[in-house]
Amino acid sequence: MKRSLALVTAAMTAALLTSCSSGSPSSDAPAGGATDNGAQSEAAGDGELRSIKVGVIPIVDTAPIYLGDAKGFFEEEGLDLEIVETSGGAAAVPGVVSGSFDVAFGNTVSVMVAADQGLPLKYLTNGLATTGEDPDVGAVLAPGDSDIESAGDLAGKTVAVNNLNNIGDTTIRTIVEADGGDPSTIEFVEIAFPDMPAAIERGQVDAAWVLDPFKTGAMDAGAKLVANNFAEFDPELDIAGYFTTMETFEEDKELVDAFTAAMTKSLEYAAENPEEVRDIVGTYTKMPEEARAAMTLPRYRADFNREAMQKLGEAAVKYGSLDKAPDLDALLP
């Protein structure tokens, strides 16, 4: 029996938009205030910790940093971590460039586009990758009674994505063309992820690219799977990671090395402890336990797959999001 779409959407919207104002899910974690890059703050204990401000979206994708903070991995590396909520790559990139954040979480095409526009950015670690199979963390969905059955059927249709010229429409165009459709005939429109389930049900769009937890909610409400665009693009595709400015990377080795070590440990721990991932998500969002149990978790890993990243960059050039292929030697660790 279908769930009430209003209830599903309300729960999922709360999951995305609600997070701890301090950014730390641990009640005994150091409070830590915002400081200029290079400043230090005292923490409970014998030594002093280096303050670091990291901008993230409070969703399942970023669970490892919250988990690592709760486990003390950042403190072990001498860092007093402050997690600051952002709305996504559009806010994360200027936040890092302006110095509001030391590091931020952003999807790979957003960072490629910023670099293409002359903003020198550098990834420190990966953040998450596609599962490479069905179910995946993101998928293209259509109404249950739609005649859209596969990626090629999206040609000539209206498809919702959260941002234009980004990882969503780039991967969708690629899999549509691979399935025999003409990607140039797709009309992409911007709709926020929380609003996509309702847009599908009302027929506002023919299909929508939806991420978990909204994907699971929409399918529970009757939407059907058309394609797993990440997994079908490349089963090793990396989706987003943690980046800083090239200036910070080159001039603040202490901070870079400490964050990289702590974040790597956090990603490895999350990969090995999926139930703790589900639990920690409940500490910085209001996602109910039932939804957390049902959601699809991504693969968490610190290293990037360069072949898949190169393929993504070439696709972004082909479909007009980038002027030239990204310099992966400059962009990746």
Q: Is 19-130+237-285+303-331 in CATH node 3.40.50.970? A: no
Q: Is 138-233 in CATH node 3.30.70.2740? A: no
Q: What is the pLDDT of residues 81-110, one digit of tens each?
A: 999 988 666 678 999 999 999 999 999 999
| Domain range annotation of the chain | 19-130+237-285+303-331, 138-233
Q: What is the pLDDT of residues 104-134, one digit of tens each?
A: 999 999 999 999 999 999 999 999 999 999 9
The answer to whether residue 33 scores a pLDDT higher than 50 is no
Same CATH fold, 138-233 and 19-130+237-285+303-331?
yes
Element at 280 (helix H, strand E): helix 274-284
pLDDT of res. 89: 64
The answer to whether residue 259 scores a pLDDT higher than 80 is yes
Q: What is the pLDDT of residues 58-69, one digit of tens each?
A: 888 999 999 999
The answer to whether residue 34 scores a pLDDT higher than 50 is no
Q: How far apart are CA 24 and CA 75, in angstroms?
A: 12
pLDDT of res. 220: 87
Average pLDDT value for the chain? 87
Q: Kindly list the distances between the CA atom of residue 42 and the CA atoms of 24, 52, 107, 193, in Å, as whole numbers in the listed order.
A: 17, 13, 33, 39
Tell if the pTM clears 0.85, that is, is over it. Answer: no
Residues across the chain: 333
Of 105, 90, 109, the closest CA to residue 174 belongs to: 109
State the burial class of residue 133 (Cβ atoms within 10 Å of its Cβ: 0-12, 13-18, 19+): exposed
